[in-house]
Amino acid sequence: MPQIPDRLRICDEDGAELYAGPADGAYSA
């Protein structure tokens, strides 16, 4: 199993990439 990164890359329904980090919260890249 790979380690969980500090930031998780998530794609929203529009196909844009969202990044969620423990210190950053969620923001659009």
- Provide the pLDDT for residue 24: 54
Q: State the total domains in the chain.
A: 1
Residue 15 near residue 27, CB atoms below 8 Å: no
Q: Which tokens is 12 given? A: 């929203």
Q: Which domain holds residue 5?
A: 1-29
pTM of the model: 0.23
Give the tens place of pLDDT for each residue, 1-29: 566 555 566 667 776 766 555 555 555 55
- Provide the pLDDT for residue 26: 52
- Provide the pLDDT for residue 27: 52
Give 25: exposed, middle or buried? Use CB within 10 Å, 0-12, 13-18, 19+: exposed
- Provide the pLDDT for residue 13: 72
Residue 20 near residue 7, CB atoms below 8 Å: yes
- Provide the pLDDT for residue 7: 57
Closest CA to 9 of 24, 20, 25: 20
- Provide the pLDDT for residue 16: 72
